[in-house]
Amino acid sequence: MNLSRMFMRYPLTEKITMRAFLATTLLLSAITFGADLPAIPADPIAKKKELLFSDDFQGAEPAKVWHKVVPTFVLENGSLKGSQTRDVDIPAADGKPEVKKHAAVHGLDIPTKDSVVEVKIRFAGNSMMSVEFDDRQYTGAHYGHICLAQVRPNGVTIVDQRDGGMRNDIYEMGKDPSKKEERAKLLVGRSANFPLTLETEKWYNLRVETVADAMRVSIDEKPVAFLKSSGIGHETKSKLEFGVGGKDGYFDDLKVWNAEAAQ
């Protein structure tokens, strides 16, 4: 499998430059496959506490608590539709800066440490959907990236961004081809990709549990991905963002709980 080509097909979320995106794609050097994949806990790692947020997306437009990060999201038939409209690079011209293509991203300010995020997702032509945690006040990683769970029709990837590809020194190394091997060594264990087959036009129940330095992902109550890495344990994940690469992807019935470790 040509991992570079695979990741170029599925742009990552967040409001980052193309250099950041290209640097992040190099995470493939640290992604583990086959026998090297971490074991997925059969039972939930998180116990739900108070409900922090919910949205069933009924209405004419997204609630005011949502903020636009990268266009475009709209409400359609009682769900949140994301479409990557920034899908080509626009060169700098007439005094305006260059604009790089990027996945659509929609966000919320919900400070958490340990949490459970549940949301229905549906692929309708798009190539990627994601749930991402960030902290814009954290200066040790590019743009405050902390961690994410990325779902594609052929797999689920969990990434520790804070101590992985978005860590400032590692991020800068991604701009220097001569540091590729050195950088790859630093990325070992910071992400994991689990193969999976999902259908288009079918709704799935996605759950992302984050407890201490571990993240567990399940789809329709079946555990499908797990990663334990230091950056996931970031104390204040102040922003929760949802991404869609390509056209179109749908979210519905979102719920976010504060959580604690399951007993």
DSSP per residue, the chain = --HHHHHHHS---SS--HHHHHHHHGGGGG---GGGSPPPPSS-SEEEEEEEEEE---SSS--TT-EEEES-EEEETTEEEEE----S-B--BTTBPPB----EEEEEEEEESSEEEEEEEEESS-SEEEEEEE-TT--SBGGGEEEEEEEETTEEEEEE-TTTTTBHHHHHHTT-GGGHHHHHHHHTTSEEEEE----TT-EEEEEEEEETTEEEEEETTEEEEEEE-GGGG-S-EEEEEEEEESEEEEEEEEEEEEEEE--
Which amino acid makes up residue 122? R
The predicted structure's pLDDT at residue 25: 36
Closest CA to 210 of 48, 69, 39: 48
State the first-to-last Cα distance of the chain, in angstroms, to the nearest integer: 39
The predicted structure's pLDDT at residue 26: 35
**Domains of the chain from N-terminus onward:** 3-261 (2.60.120.560)
The predicted structure's pLDDT at residue 73: 95
**Confidence band of 11 (pLDDT split at 50, 70, 90):** very low
Backbone angles phi, psi at 173, to 5 degrees: -65, -30
The predicted structure's pLDDT at residue 171: 95
pTM over 0.95? The answer is no
The predicted structure's pLDDT at residue 93: 79
Beta bridge partners of 99: 90
Tell me the CA distances in angstroms from 100 to 43, 71, 84, 144, 184, one per residue in order.
41, 12, 12, 19, 25
Which amino acid makes up residue 119? V
What average pLDDT does this structure show over 116-121?
98
Closest CA to 249 of 119, 117, 71, 126: 126
Residue partners of 23: CB distance under 8 A and separation at least 6: 165, 166, 171, 174, 175
Percent of the chain with pLDDT over 70: 86
For 29-86, how does the pLDDT look when each residue is reduced to its tens digit (9 = 90+)? Answer: 334 444 489 999 999 999 999 999 999 999 888 889 999 999 999 999 999 999 999 8
For 182-236, how does the pLDDT look when each residue is reduced to its tens digit (9 = 90+)? Answer: 999 999 999 999 999 999 999 999 999 999 999 999 999 999 999 999 999 999 9
